[in-house]
Amino acid sequence: MKLFYSATSPYVRKVMACAIVRGIDQQIEKIPTNAHESPAALVSANPLSKVPCLVTEDGFALFDSPVICEYLDTVGDALPLFPASGAARWVALRHQAVGDGMLDAAVARRMESAKPREDARDAFMARQKQAVERSLAMLERDMPGKLMDIGTIAVGCALAYLDFRFAEDDWRAGHPQLASWFDQFATDRAFTETAPPAG
């Protein structure tokens, strides 16, 4: 398998964390890619020119981290990250949705913050920050579990991204239980080996 990736993308981190938990990370060849430059190899696999993009052994291209993670859950013999049915499935998918939503809001805020200041842009960034803050409050009430599944991985990647790009916001201050959960969760190999480069 080949993965078009960027070391700072939290969506790539989510995919690689899943691969590590599944024990299949060594089966993935990582191709460093600047999606903003729309390189031909990436665009031919993913017309959206976004990472992550996974090309399977049979040459089938998959994109968007939820799709890639669900595919990886079918490779190898490890316990599934996507529970098959029942309440555990819906809890995991709900946590994945809130983790991915936090990432969408935080990444959008990060991209806008690099542009010249104006009232409409500031209002947009404030809305994204509020979406993250509401999600953090929800997670403090509805704590992720201790088992590694798609929901806990997505939430972990979202919280790690907040540390990486918005450390000044100090999300831990008002969310002590979530912070405690994350500090334990972040020691797992799936997170220590996927941390973005400093700087």
The Cα 79–Cα 117 span in angstroms is 47
CA 152/CA 145 separation, integer angstroms: 7
First CA to last CA across the chain, in angstroms? Answer: 29
Residue where one domain finishes, among candidates 72, 94, 121? 72
Whether 96 and 47 share a structural domain: no
Which domain CATH number covers 59? 3.40.30.10
Range of the domain at 54: 2-72
Compute the average pLDDT of residues 3-28: 97
Judge whether 79 lies within some domain: no
Residues 90 and 184 grouped into a single domain:
yes
Q: How many domains does the chain have?
A: 2
100 and 68 inside one domain: no
pTM summary value: 0.93
Average pLDDT of the chain to the nearest whole number: 96
| The residue to which tokens 């049979």 are assigned | 58
Residue 90 has pLDDT above 70, yes or no: yes
Tell me the one-letter amino acid at 177. Answer: Q
- Does residue 35 share a domain with residue 109? no
Alpha carbons 177 and 179: distance in angstroms, whole number: 5
Query: How confident is the model at residue 198, as a pLDDT?
Result: 78
- Report, as an integer, the average pLDDT of 103-127: 94
**pLDDT tens string 144-191:** 999 999 999 999 999 999 999 999 999 999 999 999 999 999 999 999
Res 199 pLDDT > 80: no
